Amino acid sequence: MTEIYVDADACPVKDEVYDVAARLGLAVVVVANQRLKVPREGAVEMIVVGGGPDAADDWIAEEIRRADIVVTADIPLAARCLEKGASALGTNGREFTSDSIGGALATREIKSQLREAGSATGGPPPLSARDRSRFANELDRIARRALRES
């Protein structure tokens, strides 16, 4: 059965994930370095991992299976999940694919080098209602595809 894994420490679209999962009857695994509030109803499991900043990523990459979905803004985690046959959706509503992940990793590296050189690259803009709707629609599409393929 398809599950949705959420890299949750800085995820701005958790409520949208819960809504889509409830509508489709999917389980959600929320993974973070600290306990977060999750819905009591539905199939939502909270996993608290200890350790360093990549502990949640490592846990998800170890547990995720083919036909599962990860929701993350972390491009290296998305790449690791794609390697296992899972789907990966950015918190901005853009799906990571085998065709797009290489470019995303390269862009991430360039931005990292610019930050190290002292250039301000800025963070992502706040999500609008339209952004949240686009994310939910894309998650719904990916989840339905995963259910058909599993």
User: What is the tens place of the pLDDT at every residue in 13-53?
Assistant: 999 999 999 999 999 999 999 999 999 888 999 999 987 87
Number of domains in the chain: 1
State how far the Cα of 144 lies from the Cα of 150, in Å rounded to an integer. 10
Distance of alpha carbon 137 from alpha carbon 150, whole angstroms: 20
The answer to whether the CB of 89 falls within 8 A of the CB of 97 is no
**Cross-strand bridge partners of residue 114:** none
Which range of residues forms the domain containing residue 41?
3-149
- CATH number at 93 reads 3.40.50
Mean pLDDT calculated for residue range 135-139: 98
pTM listed for this prediction: 0.86
Are 81 and 31 in contact by the 8 Å Cβ rule? The answer is no
